[in-house]
């Protein structure tokens, strides 16, 4: 490490949580962004009552306090999509998604500079291997949008590094021998993998292209696990897969909106309410739809999504969890088991495992040759997912990195290398 602080920072703007890393001698790499916490949840709440904007844990607290307004999470998922140029309405005022994203990135910069006691003009941003699956144009548009926003909030030089490579650099700093490592970075929005040769000797090289044997990724992450569990285990309580009086299933669009973090607010539009009234008139599942009416009327979609997210976290360490759903109906509780969670997410797990297998095949690397499987990202803690990936690499020993901090720390190392 240099005897002087780096000029630039590394920014891991995540779907669920974000960090900023800065390399300086004798101090922790990650900067505190909210109180003493190095992570800032990627959430923005616009308080319509007081016309104030809140970020991170404060945003979630304001929303849960019951203030009128809009909570936005998983903003990163909008990058590369047509929704990026859209807006959401709060108290008759249109808030552009692009501006909400810029306000959050600006907060990362401001808070990092406050902690560092100096400005940052250069930054290395992490990016997934694919912002958008199977669409190079949309993927390029996503990176261009993020770069433009970074420059808008005050960065004069912006570059990018794949997020799993950032994690690899962080892991490599602690090695005393050479290893062939599969980095499994599974965050809120994407599952990304890099197959790399790492060692203390290789770490000193400027050109690492020969050490990178392959990258792969897909748009599956923690929020997709939330969505799958919500649809299979919770939305039936609100009428999902219920029947109309004519025997046809209730239209599912509203349930999919409520199960997906970045589309929850669309369930509160006038058109969505009109559609719901039409469904309610002709539906047989009245009790369930009464709960749905209460959820929409009181705008409790994000509250329900938070209950589902917590259930996912609980089931990653326990075998059962009990949801308290009294905001939908007095005394309503609902149990979910680890088996329910696994069944709801089986297709997602298999898609991720297939991506790992494809990466190894394309790299021409036999599975038994991989020394280490390194997990990072909050969703890598989902047990059925971790076990299925590990089954692809039977000889590799599994290492759990800093699930929320390794990428930001690695990007800080890359920023110091690029900008001094």
b/e sequence 385-396, b meaning 16+ C-beta within 10 Å: bbebbbebbeeb
Note whether residue 375 is domain-resident.
Answer: no
The string of pLDDT tens digits covering residues 308-328 is 999 999 999 999 999 999 999
- CA-to-CA dists, residue 355 to 125, 128, 228, 348, 384, angstroms: 24, 14, 19, 11, 16
Angle in degrees, CA 197, 218, 29, rounded to 5: 55
The residue out of 291, 324, 343 marking a domain boundary is 343
Asked which of 343, 366, 393 is the last residue of a domain, the reply is 343
* CATH number, domain with residue 115: 3.30.420.40
Residue pair 265/305 in contact (Cβ under 8 Å)? The answer is no
Q: Are residues 170 and 240 in the same domain?
A: no
> Same domain, yes or no, for 262 and 134?
no
Crossing angle for the helix pair 406-419 and 163-172, to the nearest 10 degrees: 90
- 281 within a domain of the structure (yes/no): yes
Residue 375: its H or E element: strand 372-376
Total count of domains within the chain: 2
What are residue 2's phi and psi, to 5 degrees? Answer: -65, 155
* pTM over the 0.85 mark: yes
Residue 91 lies in a domain: yes
Domain, as residue range, for 103: 9-176+403-419
Query: Do residues 27 and 153 both lie within one domain?
Result: yes
Cβ atoms of 170 and 413 closer than 8 Å: yes
What confidence category does residue 51 fall into, taking pLDDT thresholds of 50, 70 and 90?
confident
Return the pLDDT at 87.
Answer: 85
Q: What is the pLDDT of residues 167-209, one digit of tens each?
A: 999 999 999 999 999 999 999 999 999 999 999 999 887 778 8
Asked if the structure places residue 248 within a domain, the reply is yes
CA distance 132 to 272: 27
Domain end: 343, 360, 395, which one? 343
Are 235 and 146 in the same domain? no
Q: Is residue 369 part of a domain?
A: no
Angle between helices 301-315 and 56-65 (to 10 degrees): 120
Query: Is 389 domain-assigned?
Result: no
Dump pLDDT digits (tens) for 252-293: 999 999 999 989 989 998 999 999 999 999 999 899 999 999
Quick one: which of 339, 254, 340 has its CA closest to 301?
254
Contact yes or no for 163/187 (Cβ under 8 A): yes
Strands 17-21 and 212-218: unpaired
Helix (H) or strand (E) holding 408: helix 406-419
Query: Is 217 inside any structural domain?
Result: no
102 part of a folded domain = yes
- Return d(Cα 165, Cα 270) in angstroms, integer: 45
The two structure tokens encoding residue 25:
């001698």
């Amino acid at each position: 490490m240099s005897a002087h602080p780096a000029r630039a920072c590394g920014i891991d703007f995540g779907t669920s949580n974000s960090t900023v890393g800065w390399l300086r001698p004798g101090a922790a790499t990650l900067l505190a962004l909210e109180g003493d916490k190095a992570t800032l949840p990627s959430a923005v709440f616009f308080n319509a009552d007081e016309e104030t904007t809140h970020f991170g844990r404060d945003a979630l607290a304001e929303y849960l306090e019951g203030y009128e307004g809009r909570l936005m999470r998983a903003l990163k998922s909008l990058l590369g999509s047509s929704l990026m140029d859209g807006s959401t309405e709060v108290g008759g005022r249109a808030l552009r998604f692009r501006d909400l994203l810029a306000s959050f990135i600006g907060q990362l910069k401001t808070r990092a500079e406050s902690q560092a006691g100096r400005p940052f003009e250069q930054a290395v941003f992490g990016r997934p291997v694919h912002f958008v699956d199977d669409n190079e144009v949309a993927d390029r548009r996503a990176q261009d949008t993020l770069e433009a926003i970074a420059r808008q909030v005050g960065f004069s030089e912006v570059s990018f590094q794949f997020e799993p490579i950032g994690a690899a650099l962080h892991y490599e700093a602690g090695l005393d021998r050479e290893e062939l490592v599969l980095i499994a970075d599974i965050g809120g929005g994407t599952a990304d993998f890099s197959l790399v040769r790492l060692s203390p000797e290789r770490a000193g090289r400027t050109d690492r292209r020969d050490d990178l044997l392959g990258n792969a990724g897909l748009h599956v992450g923690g929020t997709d696990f939330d969505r799958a569990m919500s649809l299979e285990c919770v939305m039936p309580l609100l009428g999902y897969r219920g029947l109309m009086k004519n025997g046809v299933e209730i239209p599912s669009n509203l349930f999919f909106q409520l199960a997906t973090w970045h589309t929850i607010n669309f369930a509160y539009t006038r058109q969505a309410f009109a559609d719901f009234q039409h469904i309610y008139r002709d539906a047989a599942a009245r009790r369930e739809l009464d709960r749905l009416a209460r959820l929409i009327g009181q705008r409790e979609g994000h509250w329900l999504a938070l209950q589902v997210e917590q259930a996912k976290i609980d089931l990653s360490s326990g075998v059962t969890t009990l949801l308290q759903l009294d905001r939908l109906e007095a005394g309503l509780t609902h149990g979910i088991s680890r088996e329910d969670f696994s069944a709801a997410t089986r297709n997602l797990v298999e898609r991720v495992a297939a991506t790992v297998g494809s990466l190894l095949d394309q790299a021409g690397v036999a599975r038994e040759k991989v020394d280490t499987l390194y997990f990072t990202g909050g969703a890598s803690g989902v047990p059925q997912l971790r076990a299925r990936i590990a089954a692809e690499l039977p000889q590799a020993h599994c290492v759990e990195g800093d699930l929320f901090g390794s990428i930001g720390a690695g990007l800080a190392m890359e920023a110091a290398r690029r900008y001094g």
